[in-house]
Chains A and B, each alone.
Chain A
Amino acid sequence: MATEYNGYITTESIAGADDGPLGGKTVAVKDNISTEGVRTTCGSAMLDDYVPPYDATVVERLKAAGATIPGKTNMDEFGMGTTTETSAYGPTENPAAPGHVPGGSSGGSAAVVAAGDADMALGTDTGGSIRCPAAFCGVVGIKPTYGLVSRYGLVAYANSLEQIGPIAPSVEEAAELLDVIAGPDDHDATTRDNDGATEGLADAADGDVDGLSIGVPTELVEGADEAVVETFWDAIDELEAQGASYHEVDLPSVEHAVEAYYVIAMSEASSNLARFDGVRYGQSGGYEGNWNESFANAREQGFGEEVKRRVLLGTYALSAGYHDKYYKKAQDARAWVKQDFDAALADADVLASPTMPVPPMEMGESLADPLTMYLADANTTPVNLANLPAISVPAGETDDGLPVGLQLVGPAFGEKQLIRAGSALA
């Protein structure tokens, strides 16, 4: 069933097992996650008619758990965007804030959940692509610890940063979905067995924050929009009223997180997207001229502007003479961010900030200026650099009625802490 806000790219329904923990539930799937026999476009014209011959591990697990997949959701092309406006299939409108973007890149997934057209959804988060749309659409999103969820069958954008995770109306439902998809997979050597620390996640959604110690990184609050900051502190007050306490912490490294993130993500993208040459899949570049000309033609036709921009910048950052200046420094920044988070989490159970420094942008507002769009990822990208888990829960609305999300960050494989704390609010 198509939606008037353009939440789905494909609405072919996929049936799951007769029963299971997700029996009777619909779980929409982002269109960069492979579904056997159902086309998977990644929001790109390049893959307009690509039909995967196998299921991603998370899709196998959804089906085995009894979920029905109602369709494949709209997204920024190959996950490259913060607004779902770079999709080759048109932008998605935010059902919770008409006229505004739903966030991105998993904007379709958050939108169908916010509109009630799916019970839950899967998104992917490389630099905030689950948490941003969850915040903008007023729903819950979890970016799991790197290695908790298999990426087998996820079309790669930036392997070292991305995770598949749940989007749902409540923390408990998000945790139920994460319970189903989490756990080691032979097909993804980066998944980890963590001694049961992340089993029974939904049981942790008891809302008990009595004695919870919250660190608030000043760097992630100071730069945010006034209306966002106000809503953020209201949510912290509410957690305090339920028995939590907060203290401010410093994370000086996060001032460099966005540039480090984009250098690393674009560099990995320039390598990952080399596979789209129009020979094994994708749109052929024809058979005139030599293979370089043919590939370059296929990629000119098949990729949108933002994808080209990131592949070119990534190629530039890795090219001889620039590697040490950009990529190597970005890896230093990544290690620094990780150390800062580890230190802050030694004195706090969770770290809290606004998920996004701004409320949802108006549609069409940010596309013209890529750098402004990148800077909106200031609070989410550090978490991917540090490989940590984070949750975005609805914190309230601005005076203009725009949703604001609260982000909580925990230690590696500390999803239960995040679910417990987040469930006190949603």
Chain B
Amino acid sequence: MSDGETDDDADDATGADGSDAAAADGGAAAVDPEEVRHVADLARIDLDDDEVERFTERFADVLAYFETLEEVPEVESEADLTNVMRPDEVRDSLSQDEALANAPETEDGYFKGPKVS
């Protein structure tokens, strides 16, 4: 795969223009390491280099298989759905201590999280 193609694929996953990505692809399911890194970034999962290599290889197989969904016709479905409502009333819930019990760290009755920036 040339460098030029690599850049195109990475742009597709970034996903500014949906129709282009689906059309340009034309059934070729290959992904490159940059695309895997980009998706991992979206999913908030760090990957080491070995993992990137393995996932790149395996994703091609799985995505090629997913491509066969192209053969599925459009299907009209009438979902049998009903809204389930309940009165908006105060009910018992977990105490603050119980809710915090599994947190790796807490402070002054709050969850302690990393910096938001």
Chain A residues within 8 Å of B, Cβ to Cβ: 49-51, 53-54, 186, 189-190, 253, 256, 259-260, 262-263, 270, 274, 277-297, 299-300, 303, 305, 308-309, 311-313, 315-317, 319-326, 329-333, 335-336, 338-339, 370-371, 374
Are B58 and A322 within 8 A (Cβ)?
A: no
Closest Cβ–Cβ distance, residue B96 to chain A (whole Å): 11
The answer to whether A329 and B102 touch across the interface, beta carbons within 8 angstroms, is no
- Determine whether the beta carbon of B98 is less than 8 Å from that of A282: no
Find chain B residues with CB under 8 A from A326 CB: 66, 69
- 1/0 per position for B9-23, CB-CB distance to A under 8 A? 000111111111110
Which residue from A53, A262, A319, A335 sits with its C-beta under 8 Å from B75?
Answer: A335
Q: How far does the Cβ of A259 sit from chain B's closest Cβ, in whole Å?
A: 5
User: Given known contacts A300-B45, A315-B42, A326-B66, is B74 in contact with A332 (CB within 8 Å)?
Assistant: yes
**How many whole Å from B53's CB to the nearest CB in chain A?**
13
**Interface band, chain B:** 35 or more
Tell me how far the C-beta of A228 lies from the nearest C-beta in chain B, rounded to whole angstroms: 22
Smallest CB gap from A189: residue in B:
B84
Whole-angstrom CA separation of A291 from B112 in the bound complex:
11
Residues of A contacting B74 in the complex (Cβ-Cβ under 8 angstroms): 332
Asked if B4 lies at the interface with its beta carbon under 8 angstroms from chain A, I say no
Chain A proximity of B41: nearest CB distance (Å): 8
A299→B61 CA distance, assembly (Å) = 24
Most buried by A among B12, B17, B25, B58: B58
A280 to B21, CA, bound (A): 37
**B contact residues around A336 at 8 Å (CB):** 72-73, 75
Whether B65 pairs with A371 at a CB distance below 8 angstroms is yes
Q: List 13 extra interface pairs beyond A54-B94, A333-B75, A336-B75, CB under 8 A.
A: A259-B69, A281-B102, A286-B114, A294-B114, A297-B46, A308-B45, A312-B40, A321-B15, A321-B20, A325-B25, A332-B74, A336-B73, A370-B58
Q: In the complex, A186→B72 CA distance in Å?
A: 37
Interface string of B22-53 (1 = CB under 8 A from A): 10010000010000100111111111100100
Contacts of A329 in B (CB 8 A): 69-70, 72
A299 x B72 contact (CB < 8 A):
no
Q: In terms of DSSP, what is the predominant structure of the interface of chain A?
A: helix
CA distance A316 to B59 in the complex (A): 10
- List residues of chain B with CB under 8 Å of any chain A CB: 12-22, 25, 31, 36, 39-48, 51, 54-55, 58-59, 61-63, 65-66, 68-77, 84, 86, 94, 98-99, 101-105, 111-117
In angstroms, how far is the closest chain A Cβ from the Cβ of B19?
8
Measured CB to CB, the closest approach of chain B to A274, in angstroms, equals: 8
The reply to whether B39 and A321 form a contact with Cβ atoms under 8 Å apart is no
Closest to A277 in B: B44
Q: Contact: B72 with A333, CB < 8 Å? A: yes
Inter-chain CA distance A260–B75, complex, in Å, is 14
Verify B114–A309 contact, CB threshold 8 A.
Answer: no
Q: Are B102 and A186 in contact (CB under 8 A)?
A: no
> For A260, what are the chain B residues with a Cβ–Cβ distance below 8 Å?
69, 72
The chain B residue with its CB closest to the CB of A370 is B58
Residue of B nearest to A335 (CB): B77
- Which residues of A lie under 8 Å from residue B19 when comparing CB positions? 321
Q: What residue in chain A is nearest B36 (Cβ atoms)?
A: A312
- Asked if A299 and B69 make an inter-chain contact with CB atoms under 8 angstroms apart, the answer reads no
A332 to B75, CA, bound (A): 5
Pairwise interchain contact B75-A339, C-beta atoms closer than 8 A: yes
Smallest distance from the beta carbon of A409 to chain B beta carbons, Å?
A: 18
CB-defined A-B contacts under 8 Å, sample of 11: A283-B104, A295-B44, A308-B47, A311-B45, A312-B59, A322-B18, A325-B21, A326-B66, A329-B70, A336-B73, A336-B75
Please judge, given known A-B contacts A320-B18, A323-B18, whether A259 and B66 are in contact too, CB under 8 Å: yes
Chain A residues contacting B71 (CB-CB under 8 Å) are 256
